[in-house]
Amino acid sequence: MSRREVAITGIGVISPGGIGVPDFWRLLTEGRTATRLVTHFDPAPFRSRIAAEADFDPAAFGLGPQEIRRMDRAAQFGVVTAREAVTGSGLDMSTVDPGRVAVSVGSAIGASVGLEEEYRAASDDGRLDLLDENYAAKHLYNYFVPSSIVAEVAWAVGAEGHAAMISDGCTSGVDAVGYGCDLIREGSADIVIAGGTDAPITPITLACFDAIKATTPRNDDPEHASRPFDASRNGFVLGEGAAMFVLEEVEHARGRGAHIHAIVSGFAGRCNAYHMTGLKADGREMAEAIRVAMAEARVNPEDIDYINAHGSGTKQNDRHETAAFKRSLGDQAYRIPVSSIKSMIGHSLGAIGAIEVAASVLALEHDVLPPTANLHTPDPECDLDYIPVTAREQDTDTVLTVASGFGGFQSAMVLTAPGKDHA
Amino acid sequence: MTPSAVVTGIGVTAPNGLGTKDYWAATLDGTSGIGRLTRFDPSGYPAQLAGEVPGFVAKEHLPSRLLPQTDHMTRLALVTADWALADAGVKPDQLDGYDMSVVTASSAGGFEFGERELQALWSKGSKYVSAYQSFAWFYAVNTGQISIRNGMQGPSAALVSDHAGGLDAIGQARRQIRKGTPLAVTGGVDGSLSSYGWISHLSSGQISTATDPDRAYLPFDASASGYVPGEGGALFVLEDEAAARQRGAEIYGRIAGYASTFDPRPGTGRPPALKRAITLALDDAGVTPGDVDVVFADAVAVPELDRQEADAINEVFGPRGVPVTAPKTMTGRLYAGAAPLDVAAALLAIRDSVLPPTVHSDPYPDYQLDLVTGTRGGPVRTALVVARGHGGFNSAVVVRSAR
């Protein structure tokens, strides 16, 4: 019996500078950046005052006042992108068994916007050691346990199969897509609404990255602050957003004549077991994840047309990742174009892995590779083809996307154009 | 053939016992660990009872450099993992890192740590926030720390689905074993008994405000009025059965079945999905309802939810068709640690041919459950563990004797 394959038949994206798939893709291919000084609150007290913010109005997407109150920003992103994905897939949910529809949502920090707001209210801005429950929202529990985000997505699409939140730090988004693929392949579901969402542009999150100097202090030049692989980079730029997909068993998709954007042909994750935030320079575990994902997809380094990098713009990441590509792809690493869309939309923690899957799928479909913005003088230790500044047209059938996260998580996914898979 | 996943090691940190031996002795004895909160002063809150893990001194078990960077529940988890590995006779440093996965569940992350840093930020300023905040609070912390401490580099994850997440983690660990990783540390150890955690629990509207520990958490009782939160949980060493047998490991039992479903959106009028989770898990295990010797219930002790659970159990097994128990009446509900602790109890029940009791509850006859209110003997070969999470998560695991 041939194995069950997974098709992507719907995509939804909320990104800084790009709400909805068309605007998102336009931003990336035009090489524009959405990084700016933080406007969600006054960033003056912080070392890094830059973020890539999404100009998102939940009411414009049909969320009612009660839903907006009940849902954290990350949940709102998740629901709106899930709806965009389902609508785009042409799937009529009334014709499928809801028990065969699963949900897999990645998020690194869950409902942190709501948690911080409620903390401030209930503690009188930290004055009280013992918080006063009378000042907290009735739906505080939804923020406390972030699986409420998954529940909102499941309700929005009418799913009654397995519902899961995957929280693997900054690999959560791609890991949740990988988890969804496993559910389809093993037969637990025919359709999975999968992706990632995070809304981390909050004082506590700025403060925690300030404390380890992970984010860039390039406050006088916010539009050019996210500079992966450039010699002058000095940290990442926080972002926010979500991407959700309709994952569908291939025969199910073909049976209803669905448009197949891409096949998820391989996925693997490994851990470095080294440090909660640090990376070894050798890239060994990410390389292993890439090798295993390629083996599952039955592709060789020669088959890879494009790599969507993690490319966060920290020195240790960019070197770690470059080493991982060389270790796993050999000489082919020098041939394969690589880019980091974080240069344009920042790093949205548990969402970005899924947003990068969306960018990878769009690259396959449009045969256009998004660039690495702001890359003018490459770090000499990063000596691959990182598609500087300008998008590139190129026939693209097979894409590798990778992610790396706090906790030591390293993930890799291979996406293939429909009809071009190597099975 | 699909590889079978077996449990070869158990680690427990529970409110009624630190370590598997103490927990199990207390549980069979009907000794509860529920008492008045000591972690902070609860007198101003409507609920004041919790299950706190007794006698845990982190520095007796962990190197001092780990203490400033870890929340209380992560310290419990690291030690619980150590005990599970020791119980299994596994020395991680003698194995290939890629051959070991870590899959844990979390509900709210290192919440007490996060609360402290929120207070530092808002009362003093951003420069006072700990350099460890970026990873001590987030939900993946226990998985990451266990991976680092033990050199485990296989495919790993953290899952969040409130009280149901512990079973989902075990399901995912079994999936990795089936896909070829020989060993996984899995389960959940959780806890958020801090002031902000407490008002978050209270906001669920499901917390018992009783003051008598013996009358506070009474699932399936006519006077059920909510549950008592607790901390702790269980972690397991799960192994590919062939590999475990080859190294001569002692096997507690098999994770024979797993399934998970989500309830319909409220207001649709469609039936809840718990029964379907149970049925799918039994099918996955290849067993019939008649094969099941005991059900470890989710047991929220909120009348509407108790009713739903009793209905689901009765629809599958028939009225009073199977012994049902909730030893969590002695620990409180441990969020992501709750269901793993029940899986530990199920494995020990299989080992010792005994059913642990549900304490203090006087079964409400309308539910038509055969509630195990006193320790009961009898062979146990197959146990079902049920767990639910806020919003509509339902998960079920079937544990079977591997003998």
**Is the domain A266-413 a CATH 3.40.225.10 member?**
no
CATH number of B5-246: 3.40.47.10
Residue A119 with chain B: CB contacts under 8 Å: 115, 118, 122, 196
Find residues 193-232 of chain A whose CB sits inside 8 Å of chain B: 203-204, 206-212, 214
Residue A148 with chain B: CB contacts under 8 Å: 390-391
Cα angle A77, B163, B170 (rounded to 5 degrees) comes to 95
> Does B393 sit within 8 Å of A151, measured CB to CB?
yes
Number of Cβ pairs < 8 A linking chain A and chain B:
257
Three-state SS string over chain B comes to: CCCCEEEEEEEEEECCEECHHHHHHHHHHCCCCEEECCCCCCCCCCCCEEECCCCCCHHHCCCHHHCCCCCHHHHHHHHHHHHHHHHHCCCHHHCCHHHEEEEEECCCCCHHHHHHHHHHHHHCCHHHCCCCHHHHCCCCHHHHHHHHHHCCCCCCEEEEECECHHHHHHHHHHHHHHCCCCEEEEEEEECCCCHHHHHHHHHCCCECCCCCHHHCCCCCECCCCCECEECEEEEEEEEEHHHHHHCCCCCCEEEEEEEEEECCCCCCCCCCCHHHHHHHHHHHHCCCHHHCCEEECCCCCCHHHHHHHHHHHHHHHCCCCCEEECHHHHCCECHHHHHHHHHHHHHHHHHHCEECCCCCCCECHHHCCEECCCCEECCCCEEEEEEEECCCEEEEEEEECCC
Q: In one letter, which amino acid is B86?
A: A
pTM: 0.98
What ipTM goes with this model?
A: 0.98
Closest residue to A271, CB basis, from B111, B153, B161: B153
Q: pLDDT tens-digit profile of B329-370?
A: 999 999 999 999 999 999 999 999 999 999 999 999 999 999
Token pair belonging to A189: 């579901």
CA neighbor of B261 nearest in space, from A111, A79, A7, A189: A189
Interface check for A154 against chain B (CB to CB < 8 A): the answer is: yes
> Does A133 sit within 8 Å of B202, measured CB to CB?
yes
Residue B130 with chain A: CB contacts under 8 Å: 208, 211
Active site annotation includes A259: no
Q: How far is B204 from chain A (nearest CA, A)?
A: 6
Residue A82 with chain B: CB contacts under 8 Å: none
Q: How far is B243 from chain A (nearest CA, A)?
A: 21
For chain A, domain boundaries? 6-255, 266-413
Distant-in-sequence, close-in-space partners of B27: CB < 8 Å, separation ≥ 6: B16, B17, B327, B330, B345, B356, B357
Residue B193 with chain A: CB contacts under 8 Å: none
* Phi, then psi, of A59 in degrees rounded to 5: -65, -30
Find residues 197-216 of chain B whose CB sits inside 8 Å of chain A: 197-204
Q: pLDDT tens-digit profile of B302-333?
A: 999 999 999 999 999 999 999 999 999 999 99
Q: What is the pLDDT along chain A (423 residues), one digit of tens a residue?
A: 468 999 999 999 999 999 999 999 999 999 999 999 999 999 999 999 999 999 999 999 999 999 999 999 999 999 999 999 999 999 999 999 999 999 999 999 999 999 999 999 999 999 999 999 999 999 999 999 999 999 999 999 999 999 999 999 999 999 999 999 999 999 999 999 999 999 999 999 999 999 999 999 999 999 999 999 999 999 999 999 999 999 999 999 999 999 999 999 999 999 999 999 999 999 999 999 999 999 999 999 999 999 999 999 999 999 999 999 999 999 999 999 999 999 999 999 999 999 999 999 999 999 999 999 999 999 999 999 999 999 999 999 999 999 999 999 999 999 999 987 665
Active site annotation includes A275: no
Distance CA B371, CA B349 (A): 16
**CATH superfamily of domain region A6-255:** Thiolase/Chalcone synthase (3.40.47.10)
**Is the domain B255-400 a CATH 1.10.3980.10 member?**
no
CATH 3.40.47.10, chain B: domain bounds: 5-246, 255-400
Interface check for A61 against chain B (CB to CB < 8 A): the answer is: no
CA neighbor of B236 nearest in space, from B4, B10, B22, B69: B10
